[in-house]
């Protein structure tokens, strides 16, 4: 353990473009890594996890700004525990909301595949309807 990575290695392991790494660094999503005497970046091995986390969170509909907020929850050591808790709770609410909606979508889709299980025409199976339950 404790291997360090070049930007290219990190990009490959994180399954993103090399330029994306530089972009994330610029945006403060990845801490600025130390440099070798050559000027090359030298990333710690666990930077891979951070890159993947960013990508996954994005796929869940979080903007990079929001991802940064999530990451800052664990990084910011000068914020009080209470402050962190408050922000974490807000994120938690976001997450729970997403889960709820996804579960409603899942239910509708399962209903759709059950209803239209291999033959009948569909017309208007209620994918949309099962959302929009109550929120405004």
Minimum CB distance to a second copy, residue 3 (Å): 17
Contact 43, 50 (CB under 8 A): no
> Among DNA, a second copy, none, what binds residue 19 when CB lies within 5 to 8 Å by partner kind?
DNA
Rounded Cα distance between 40 and 7, Å, is 8
Contact 69, 87 (CB under 8 A): yes
Dihedral over Cα of 65, 71, 77, 79: its sign:
positive
Contact 67, 57 (CB under 8 A): yes
The binding track of 1-40 with respect to DNA, each residue x by CB under 7 A or -, is -----xxxx------xxxxx-xx-----------xxxxxx
Rounded Cα distance between 65 and 122, Å, is 40
Q: Which residues form the interface with a second copy (CB under 8 A)?
A: 49-50, 52-53, 56-62, 70-71, 73-74, 76-77, 80-82, 84-85, 88-89, 91-92, 95-96, 98-99, 101-103, 105-106, 109-110, 112-113, 116-129, 131-132
* Site of interaction with DNA (CB under 7 A): 6-9, 16-20, 22-23, 35-41, 54, 58, 63-65
């Amino acid at each position: 353990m404790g291997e360090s990575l070049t930007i290219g290695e990190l990009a490959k392991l994180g399954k993103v473009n090399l330029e994306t790494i530089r972009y994330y660094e610029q945006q403060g999503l990845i801490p600025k890594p130390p440099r070798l005497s050559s000027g090359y970046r030298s990333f710690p091995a666990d930077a891979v996890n951070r890159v993947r986390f960013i990508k996954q969170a994005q796929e869940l509909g979080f903007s990079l700004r929001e991802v940064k907020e999530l990451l800052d929850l664990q990084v910011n050591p000068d914020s009080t525990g209470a402050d962190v808790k408050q922000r974490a709770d807000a994120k938690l609410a976001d997450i729970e909301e997403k889960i709820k909606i996804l579960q409603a979508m899942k239910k509708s889709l399962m209903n759709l595949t059950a209803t239209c299980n291999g033959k009948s025409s569909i017309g208007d199976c209620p994918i949309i309807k099962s959302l929009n339950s109550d929120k405004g």
